[in-house]
Structures are given as C-alpha cells and as structure tokens.
Amino acid sequence: MVEAEVGLLYANRTQPKYDAEAVPETSLKDLDIDSVRRTLERVRRGSAALARVEDNVALTRIGVLAEPSDESALTLAGLLAFGSYPQQYFPQLMCSLVVHAPGGVTGETRFLDNATLRGSIPEIVDSALAMMRRNLAARAVMSDTGRTDKLEFPLGVVREALVNALMHRDYSGITRGTQVQVELFPDRLEIRSPGGIYGGIAVEDLGEEAVSSSRNAILAGLLSDTYMPTSREIVAENRSSGIPTMIALARENGLPRPSFRSTVSSFVVTVNRSQLLSPEVLSWISALQIAGLTPAHEIALAMMRAGVVTNAALRQWGVDRIQAGQVLRDLVEWGVAVKEGGRRYATYVLDPRTRDAGAFAKLARGSNSAGDPNPTEMSAKDQIADAVRTAAHEVSAQDIEVATGLSRPTIVKYLRGLIEAGEVTPIGSARSPQRRYLWSGRATA
C-alpha cells in the first residue's frame, strides 16, 4: 500500500469529523445568504429548538458555523453546502466532467465536452445535470397524452450518483487535492470519488434496504435541508435511498444495474448506457437456443453479458429471492453460467462458450443424438435417470441430489417426467418427504 492509502485507513478507524472542521479565514460573508435563509426557514419549521434562537446559534447547531457568533469561521460542511465559492479555499474540491467522443481520440478532437465545475455542491450538481442534458440524445416517445422527448439516459441516475459522490467522498487532508470525476463514454457513465466505502458495508450490500453509512454526517444532514438552485427540490434525502433510487431508475429505463467498485482510495459507479434487453441482446439469447427460458432467466443472462449477476441484483429487478436463486441454479446446470465466490456473496458469470451463441448452440446440438435444441436440460434429465437406473435399490430425491449435484426443484421436475413416461416407479405419496424412486425395468423384473 502507498502512504496515502495507509493514511486513509488510519483516518477511517473512527467516525470522520473532517466536515466539522473550522475553515480558517472564512466567515458569514463567504456564504450564499439566500440559500442559507431558505434552509433556516425549512429547519425551523421542523424544530422549536431552532425556531427560537438567533441565526448564528441555529447555524452552529446545524453545522454551518464552528461557533455561535457572527465572527465565527465556517465549517467545511457549511462552506461546501452554502459557500459562494468554496474553491477559493480548496481549489480541488470541485468536479471535472468529460464527454468522450465515439471511437476515442481522433485527430484534434479529444472530448466532445470538457468542463471543470465549481461552486457549492448544489451548484455543481445543477451545472453537471445541465451539461449532461445537452450531451445526451433525445428520442420521441408517443403515448395517449401525445409526444414527449425522452433522453437516452436518465438524468436521475446521474444526479443520484453525483450527489452520493460529493456527499460521501473522503474529505481528509490526504484527499483534498483530488476532485470528483464524471466521465461520459459512448457506452457508459463513470463517476469516481476519493475514498472507498466507509463503515462495515460491502459492495455487495449496496442497494439493499436500510444499508447506509455516512462518512460525513454533518454534510449529509445539511444537504438533506438544502435546496437546489432556483428550485424547491432538496439536494439529498439522506434516507439511505440514493443507491436504491439509482438502481430503480436504471431498471425503469431498461438499463443494466449500475456496478460499484470500491478500493481504499476510491469509489467508482459505472452505469451502462445501452438497454439491458436491447434487440442485440435478445437476438443473442435467442441464438443460444435454450428452451424454457423465463423473463427472469433473460434478465440474468443480459446482466451476465454486461458483467456479472447476483441474487441481490435480480431481486432489484423485481425477481423474488427464491425465484432468483432457482434461476441462477438453472443457468449453471444448463452450462450457461459459472458460479464464483462464496455462498453469501456468490456471483455468476457467463461460461466463455456462450459468447459465441451460434457455436454454443451447435456444440449443444452435437452432444445430443436426439437433436434436442436444449441439450443442457437433456443432460440433467440423463443424469437423474442414470442415478435411478444404476442404483442398487430405490433412491430418494436427496440421494439423487448428492449423486448429481443438481438442485432439488430440477430433480423433482425431471422425475415427474420420467414417472409419466413410465421409466421410473415412485414409491410413497407424492407429498411425502420419504418418497423413493425405482427404475421401472428393475421393478418389473
């Protein structure tokens, strides 16, 4: 680890308070008074303790001033939330936004758009959204109410990701020379902020309900009562809803689930710009020639084609937990997916053979003399039949599960077909956990 990473680990051993530090040489004159006044009106409506005190006392209590006096210095949180120009004191506490040209650098054109966004956090977010709006294509959407223009990429995703980056980034002295970076590529959006996830949260937990840990508690509180410029909209809800909202907006717009990458020194959000179930992806799924796919299977396949999928990611697309687990087991058993990692944080990736869907389907057909277009299902059926046929005596579903490694629902499904075909004889009630099975040829011998 480099020295800066060691310093970041040390700084995050306890609740950071860098956002509460007084900024020397600052005062009330450095604030956007109109923005401060709007916030004071809001917080006083919800608190009698703030309603009956002087402004400087109220501003101290909510974390804008370091001390309750008109001569007090501002806190870092106060400067970032309401400052007229925070970069006067911290030049790198800003945001760089770059729009990359398709095909990379060509000739003299390096970027389609490139800007350094400065000001308070609300102003940075507002400027970023305006810049993104002019760089995103719009398409006409017809409905019963008429025509509306819809951007190719939801601005709400940009907003939530950027607010999250500015609010939860590391503000220790080690990283105050590093800005938040937003990059719009032809195929994806990336937002990078200094400092990894704070607190006892794993990347895999992000998006779950009530999963939150605020590195900058005072700043987070202020932004939940701070208005966007010329708007009645609040900058941040501070209700553990940022990432879940980001994921929901992506899903509603047919985009893959955002991915998150955390290291000691940075946190990166990546959102794919292409639709999850685009015509190209649907064509690829069809070319795999896998029978019995449900919409949940298709979503999982599309996610894996874009990267990886987890049980939690499927649940965030509306698939319930039990169904999500079965879908992932199915894809592994059918030879389409490979499971990686442990039980809690298991991830699933595509089997490399599926990248060429036509070759995969041809290989699958060649392994099945009957010409069944779904040989992976036939393989599971054959395994179950062999387990019953070669057993010295009747077997239970659990015995077959141990022998084949297949899931219980898959075993029960194929046993039902073997029984209907007269190849397997059941012994016991269909609902009994003690039910056993015997190969029919042995039963009549």
Instruction: Tell me the per-residue pLDDT of 159-203, one tens digit each, with 9 for 90 and over.
Output: 999 999 999 999 998 899 999 999 998 888 999 999 988 866 777
Q: Pick the last residue of a domain from 269, 302, 323.
A: 269
Contacts of 241 (CB under 8 A, 6+ apart): none
Provide the CATH number for the domain around residue 413: 1.10.10.10
Do both 205 and 296 map to the same domain? no
pLDDT in tens, 273-283: 877 777 788 88
Q: Which of 14-18, 199-203, 369-373 has the highest mean pLDDT?
A: 14-18
Report yes or no on whether pTM surpasses 0.85.
no
Per-residue pLDDT, averaged over 84-103, amounts to: 92
Contacts of 307 (CB under 8 A, 6+ apart): 256, 259, 349
- Domains in the chain, number: 3
pLDDT of amino acid 240: 66
Alpha-carbon gap, residue 367 to 381, rounded angstroms: 14
Do both 86 and 125 map to the same domain? yes
pLDDT of amino acid 139: 59
Nearest C-alpha neighbor of 445 from the set 399, 387, 382, 389: 389
Please give the structure tokens belonging to residue 199: 């607190």
pLDDT in tens, 424-441: 999 988 877 788 999 887
Alpha-carbon gap, residue 340 to 227, rounded angstroms: 44
φ/ψ region of 405 (left if φ > 0, alpha if ψ in -120 to 50, else beta) reads left
Do both 319 and 403 map to the same domain? no
pLDDT of amino acid 35: 96
Alpha-carbon gap, residue 201 to 78, rounded angstroms: 27
* 371 belongs to a structural domain: no
Q: Which domain holds residue 392?
A: 376-444
Q: Are 190 and 269 in contact (CB under 8 A)?
A: yes
Q: What is the mean pLDDT of the chain?
A: 84
Do both 187 and 318 map to the same domain? no
Q: Which residue has the higher pLDDT, 132 or 140?
A: 132
Do both 318 and 380 map to the same domain? no
Do both 289 and 263 map to the same domain? no
Q: Which amino acid is at 388?
A: V
pLDDT band at 15 (very low <50, low <70, confident <90, very high): confident
Provide the CATH number for the domain around residue 90: 3.30.565.60
pLDDT in tens, 317-326: 767 788 888 9
pLDDT of amino acid 370: 43
Mean pLDDT lowest among 50-54, 111-115, 265-269, 279-283: 279-283
Do both 158 and 41 map to the same domain? yes
Percent of the chain's residues with pLDDT above 70? 83
Mean pLDDT lowest among 226-235, 362-371, 384-393: 362-371
Nearest C-alpha neighbor of 222 from the set 59, 66, 47, 54: 59
Per-residue pLDDT, averaged over 388-405, amounts to: 82
Q: Say yes or no to pLDDT of 123 above 70.
A: yes
Do both 242 and 350 map to the same domain? no
The 10 Å CB-count burial string (b at 16+, else e) for 344-362 is eeebbebeeebeebeebbe
pLDDT band at 144 (very low <50, low <70, confident <90, very high): low
Do both 265 and 120 map to the same domain? yes
Do both 210 and 318 map to the same domain? no
Q: Say yes or no to pLDDT of 7 above 70.
A: no
pLDDT in tens, 400-427: 887 776 777 778 888 888 998 889 999 9
Q: Pick the last residue of a domain from 241, 269, 297.
A: 269
Alpha-carbon gap, residue 437 to 425, rounded angstroms: 6
Per-residue pLDDT, averaged over 389-393, amounts to: 81
pLDDT of amino acid 241: 74
* 338 belongs to a structural domain: yes
Alpha-carbon gap, residue 415 to 422, rounded angstroms: 10
Q: Pick the last residue of a domain from 238, 269, 300.
A: 269
